[in-house]
Amino acid sequence: MRLTHEPPAPRHYALMPLLIAGVVIVAVASLRLGPVTLSLDRLFAVVMGHGDPVATTILLDLRLPRTLIGLLVGAMLGLAGAVLQGYLRNPLAEPSVLGASNAAALGAVAAIYFGVAGWHPAMLPLLSIATGLIALLLLFTLAGRAESALTLILAGIAVSTLAGAGISLALNLSPNPFAAMEIMTWLMGSIENRSIDHVWIVLPCVIVGGALLLIDRRALDALTLGEDGARSLGVDLRRTRTRLLLGVAIGVGGAVSVSGSIGFIGLIVPHLVRPLTDRSPSAILLPSLLGGAILLVAADILVRLIPTTSELKLGVVTAFLGVPIFLLHLLRERRTW
């Protein structure tokens, strides 16, 4: 018999160290690369506090907030996707499936539409988080006391569609093409020109949301056996669901409020890391978190490097990058579905 007293072996011991190294590499690359390339020497000088003023401004005011937001948003989307795929037992689940993304986007659109966004840079994200939480209340009301994943998905679709209708209404009624354009641009998703204030908005959301999502990793494993199977293993499904919905609303809502809607990261990253683990829902959580951060920052570097006349949006790039990777991967992994 093969079983001995060893800890359960992940399929690839090097996975986490490689992903952590990947995060460091893309973070440094993201600080260096852009219209002006900064050498490592200049970067180091700024860090040590005696850099030249140009490099200091570029690094601290532009690239540092942008990189941090990219890492935080990507990590949140990757983790939320992995958790929701495990919880809903559906490989198609992604952070937007319960309506949190659309609801947060609706708040942001309302802020732009009513001009509230102009009052203070923090107004748009805060309004966006508020609508995300309102959508969560609506979701709880709709899904009621039922514990089944299907009820929750249906309620999520209802919330998501309603928020989508609200966004369309704002576009429909927008007083002039420029207002509509501004809304469309925001919806495409970008982390350009974000300040350190935005970091302070998204950071607590991602920490609280991420912590709530990581608590229930064992419950996600138990759900591999279905709802009855999980409950017979001592999982309190109602508490699990409450923590999970709060985590998604706060974490994803906070991320979307600063970055706009960025698709595909939450869908594809769990699929990319799953074959490198033992495939249990808990094993893909941290790799998805790191993988999401890497992929989003890498896409953001591409946004800066690809020369286009009008600026490329991050959400567009992640979709174009994501779909081919996803298809290739699915063709290779088809046997397991």
Q: Residue 140 and residue 155: Cα distance in Å, rounded?
A: 8
Of all helices (H) and strands (E), which one includes residue 241?
helix 237-259
Determine which residue in the list 56, 151, 242, 280 makes contact with another protein, applying CB under 8 A.
Answer: 280
Site string for another protein, 84-113 (x = CB under 8 A): --x--x------------------------
Determine which residue in the list 24, 114, 232, 306 makes contact with another protein, applying CB under 8 A.
Answer: 232
7/324 with CB nearer another protein: 7
4/176 with CB nearer another protein: 4
The answer to whether the CB of 197 falls within 8 A of the CB of 125 is: no
Site string for another protein, 58-77 (x = CB under 8 A): --------------------
195 binds another protein (CB under 8 A): no
Determine which residue in the list 14, 168, 211, 279 makes contact with another protein, applying CB under 8 A.
Answer: 279
The four Cα atoms 200, 252, 22, 42 give a dihedral, to 10 degrees, of: -30
To the nearest whole angstrom, how small is the minimum distance from the Cβ of residue 248 to another protein? 19
Sequence-distant (6+) residues with CB within 8 A of 8 are 278
Q: Residue 294 and residue 286: Cα distance in Å, rounded?
A: 12
329 binds another protein (CB under 8 A): no
Helix axes 64-88, 196-215, angle to 10 degrees: 20
Q: Residue 83 and residue 216: Cα distance in Å, rounded?
A: 9
To the nearest whole angstrom, how small is the minimum distance from the Cβ of residue 211 to another protein? 12
331 binds another protein (CB under 8 A): no
190/282 with CB nearer another protein: 282
The alpha carbon of residue 24 and the mean position of all alpha carbons in its chain are separated, in whole angstroms, by 19
DSSP annotation of 309: S
Q: Show the tokens assigned to 47.
A: 């860090």
To the nearest whole angstrom, how small is the minimum distance from the Cβ of residue 213 to another protein? 13
Amino acid (one-letter) located at 52: D
Determine which residue in the list 183, 222, 268, 293 makes contact with another protein, applying CB under 8 A.
Answer: 222
Determine which residue in the list 224, 242, 243, 319 makes contact with another protein, applying CB under 8 A.
Answer: 224
Determine which residue in the list 235, 244, 255, 303 makes contact with another protein, applying CB under 8 A.
Answer: 235
Other Cβ atoms less than 10 A from the Cβ of 36: the count is 12
DSSP annotation of 216: T
To the nearest whole angstrom, how small is the minimum distance from the Cβ of residue 231 to another protein? 6
Residues 307-326 that bind another protein (CB under 8 A): none
Cβ burial, residue 262 (10 Å; 0-12/13-18/19+): buried
Determine which residue in the list 41, 52, 61, 236 makes contact with another protein, applying CB under 8 A.
Answer: 236
Other Cβ atoms less than 10 A from the Cβ of 178: the count is 9
To the nearest whole angstrom, how small is the minimum distance from the Cβ of residue 321 to another protein? 26
Residues that bind another protein (CB under 8 A): 1-5, 7-8, 86, 89, 215, 218, 221-226, 228-229, 231-236, 278-281, 336
